[in-house]
């Protein structure tokens, strides 16, 4: 069985010009940068830093952010190089198809579908939660929850998903403009809160910068079944006692805050809709990543400087709003609540876009039913976009999906690892291809990036790994029963090359 068969770069690019299955190129580098900020800066920017400081690293959470930012920024470089070579929808799925092989590409595509479906559902559900919280803080009556008999339904996820599904059907450019306007306003709110917060910062709150290491409160119960399931895979395999603070706390804090950066990989799925992608995709991804790193570090400095990490640790769910409340600035809670609602709004749009573009790419390769990749007169996959929106809204409205949020992280990290290792493979196979951006230090830097992301995967819980293996098993069943037999690379279908092979450069 030729499960490691690959597609050539030329074939992959040529297929983007197939009539009725091509996307319209109208995004700029700024649109991509804004998308990166839109998807990575959501509710997490107001909470993850405080939680990492309280339960992991103390004031040294700033170092945790730097470590996570370096790892994530390095992975960005790998995406940028491959996107400059292969400006095609599908992101990590497409990259691995042309380098490692079909079955690995299928695994990545299958993971990305899970990641974006669950992330879109979780975020749209939380959007409803924070919208109701914002209305409560403003003193407005009413909420978005409906109870019909024994059925509890939150209509907010359906509203936000429907709104962006309609925009994405009308065109990616108009969606990017709406998303961009909301993102600029979101950045303004973050910067306003940071500037105000600096007036409450006290130097003594940064001491000790690295608190002494101590066992976590969950260490005693780690021998139970529940304790084993919540342990990280590394701790379970090595028998390491869970610790907080100290150097170990900085590392575990980095694993936690790393997930605040994920999302830029979704931006790479829009490469096929970008003008001059060989230049604009690397530039847009890089600028977006730089903005994200700066904003998260500023929020971390303000959060740990306003109040002691010990006071944050006494709270059940510490956040930036908690820090303002502890210094008596309750008014900030309203602004932060509005910032969270706005932040989650933009995340939903980019995840809906990413989900459909991955399925679109897999469908065009016939690994999934080919009809899903049909595009309308506006250059968007209308039917696929609507189906994706309905599925995301249904899962968010009727399901309790909090327990599956870690699946978003493990799916993303597995993609990071394989994209990184694809760099030296592609350099060796096709050194002749033009590269508008190249990762320095090949092959060692990409290999180190891949190892770093694998290390972060080992710091996810045992239960997350079990669910991940089950999802992969289901994926292999679908692949061998349908994908492998119908794949375009297997020669079953013939696709005429578009005149000139439009690569969008």
Beta strand 214-215 with 145-148 is: unpaired
Q: Residue 375, Cβ neighbours under 10 Å: how many?
A: 21
Residue 4 lies in a domain: no
Per this entry, what is the length of the chain?
505
Q: Cite the DSSP H helix spans in 8-100.
A: 9-14, 29-40, 48-52, 61-85, 92-99
State the virtual CA torsion across 316, 319, 325, 330 in degrees, nearest 10.
-120
Q: What is the pLDDT of residue 3?
A: 85
Alpha-carbon distance values, 357 to 312, 417, 488 (Å): 40, 21, 18
What is the DSSP code (8-state) at residue 21? S
Distance CA 381, CA 383 (A): 6
38, 179 in Cβ contact below 8 A?
yes
Look at the chain and report how many structural domains it folds into: 1
Q: What is the pLDDT of residue 351?
A: 85
Q: Which two tokens stand for residue 282?
A: 């690397």
Residue 498 lies in a domain: no
What string of pLDDT tens digits covers the 505 residues of the chain?
688 888 888 888 888 877 777 788 888 888 888 888 887 777 667 777 788 888 888 888 888 888 888 888 888 888 888 888 888 877 788 888 988 889 989 998 998 888 788 888 888 887 887 788 778 777 777 777 777 777 677 788 888 899 889 888 887 777 778 878 888 888 888 888 888 888 888 888 888 888 887 776 654 444 444 566 667 777 777 777 767 788 878 887 887 777 677 666 777 777 888 888 888 888 888 888 888 888 888 888 888 888 888 888 887 777 777 788 888 877 877 887 788 788 788 888 888 888 898 899 899 888 999 888 888 777 788 889 999 999 988 888 776 655 555 667 777 788 888 888 889 988 988 888 888 788 888 889 899 988 988 887 887 778 888 888 898 999 999 999 998 988 877 665 544 444 344 444 4
CA 117 to chain CA centroid, nearest Å: 11
Transcribe 241-290 into DSSP letters: PPEESHHHHHHHHHHHHHTTTTTHHHHGGGGGGBSSHHHHHHHHHHHHHH
Q: Which two tokens stand for residue 58?
A: 């103390």
Cβ-based burial of 203 (10 A; exposed 0-12, middle 13-18, buried ≥19): exposed
Q: Which two tokens stand for residue 49?
A: 């830093």
Residue 40 lies in a domain: yes
Taking Cα atoms as reference points, which of 128, 139, 72 lies closest to residue 340? Answer: 128
Distance CA 142, CA 156 (A): 12
Report the interhelical angle of 405-429 vs 92-99 (nearest 10°): 40
Q: Which two tokens stand for residue 145?
A: 């929850």
Residue 487, C-beta contacts closer than 8 angstroms, at least 6 positions apart: 5, 102, 365, 366, 367
Residue 156 lies in a domain: yes
What is the DSSP code (8-state) at residue 200? T
Q: Look up the CATH number of the domain holding residue 303.
A: 1.20.1740.10
Q: What is the pLDDT of residue 405?
A: 59
Token pair 């809709």 in the structure block, residue: 273
Question: Structural domain of residue 330, as residue ranges?
Answer: 9-210+245-490
CA 68 to chain CA centroid, nearest Å: 14
Alpha-carbon distance values, 271 to 1, 89, 94, 144 (Å): 31, 6, 11, 36
What is the DSSP code (8-state) at residue 208? S
CA 436 to chain CA centroid, nearest Å: 25
Residue 505 lies in a domain: no
Alpha-carbon distance values, 78 to 4, 198, 213, 272, 449 (Å): 22, 35, 35, 17, 9
For residue 145, give the 3-state DSSP assignment. strand
Residue 217 lies in a domain: no
Distance CA 166, CA 385 (A): 9
Residue 169, C-beta contacts closer than 8 angstroms, at least 6 positions apart: 376, 378, 380, 382, 385, 386
- Per DSSP, the chain holds a count of helices (H) and strands (E) of 21, 4
Q: What is the pLDDT of residue 393?
A: 87
Distance CA 317, CA 52 (A): 11
- What is the value of pTM for the model shown? 0.80
Distance CA 419, CA 94 (A): 10
Residue 413 lies in a domain: yes
Residue 23 lies in a domain: yes
């Amino acid at each position: 069985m030729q499960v490691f068969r690959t597609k050539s770069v030329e074939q992959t690019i040529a297929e983007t010009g197939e009539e009725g299955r091509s996307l319209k190129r109208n995004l700029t580098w700024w649109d991509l940068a804004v998308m990166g900020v839109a998807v990575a800066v959501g509710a997490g920017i107001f909470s993850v830093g405080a939680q990492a400081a309280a339960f992991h690293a103390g004031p040294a959470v700033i170092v945790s952010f730097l470590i996570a930012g370096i790892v994530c920024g390095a992975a960005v470089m790998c995406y940028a190089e491959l996107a400059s070579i292969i400006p095609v929808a599908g992101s990590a799925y497409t990259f691995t198809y042309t380098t490692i092989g079909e079955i690995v590409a299928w695994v990545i595509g299958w993971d990305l579908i899970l990641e974006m479906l669950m992330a879109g559902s979780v975020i749209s559900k939380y959007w409803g939660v924070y919208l109701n919280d914002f209305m409560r803080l403003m003193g407005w009556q009413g909420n978005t929850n409906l109870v019909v008999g024994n059925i509890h339904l939150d209509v907010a996820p359906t509203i936000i998903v429907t709104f962006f599904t309609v925009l994405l059907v009308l065109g990616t450019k108009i969606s990017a403009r709406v998303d961009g306007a909301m993102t600029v306003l979101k950045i303004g709110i973050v910067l306003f809160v940071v500037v105000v917060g600096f007036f409450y910062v006290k130097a003594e709150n940064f001491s000790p910068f690295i608190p002494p290491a101590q066992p976590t409160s969950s260490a005693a119960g780690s021998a139970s079944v529940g304790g084993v399931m919540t342990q990280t895979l590394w701790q379970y395999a090595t028998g390491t006692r869970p610790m907080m603070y100290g150097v170990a706390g900085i590392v575990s804090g980095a694993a936690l805050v790393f997930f605040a950066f994920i999302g830029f990989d979704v931006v790479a799925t829009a490469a096929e809709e970008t003008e001059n992608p060989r230049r604009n995709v690397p530039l847009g991804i890089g600028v977006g990543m730089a903005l994200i790193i700066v904003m998260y570090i500023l929020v971390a400095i303000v959060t740990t400087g306003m109040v002691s990490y010990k006071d944050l640790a006494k709270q059940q769910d510490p956040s930036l709003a908690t820090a303002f409340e502890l210094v008596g600035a309750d008014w900030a809670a309203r602004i932060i609540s509005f910032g969270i609602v706005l932040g989650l709004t933009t995340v939903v749009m980019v995840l809906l876009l990413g989900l459909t573009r991955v399925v679109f790419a897999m469908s065009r390769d016939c690994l999934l039913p080919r009809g899903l990749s049909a595009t309308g007169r506006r250059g968007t996959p209308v039917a696929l976009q609507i189906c994706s929106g309905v599925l995301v809204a249904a899962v968010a409205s009727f399901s309790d999906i909090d327990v599956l949020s870690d699946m978003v992280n493990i799916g993303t990290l597995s993609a990071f690892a394989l994209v990184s290792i694809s760099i030296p493979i592609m350099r060796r196979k096709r050194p002749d291809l033009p590269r508008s951006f190249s990762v320095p230090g090949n092959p060692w830097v990409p290999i180190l990036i891949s190892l770093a992301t694998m290390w972060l995967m080992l710091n996810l819980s045992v239960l997350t790994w079990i669910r991940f293996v089950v999802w992969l098993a289901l994926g292999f069943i679908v692949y061998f029963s349908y994908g492998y037999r119908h794949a375009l690379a297997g020669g079953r279908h013939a696709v005429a090359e578009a005149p000139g092979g439009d690569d969008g450069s």
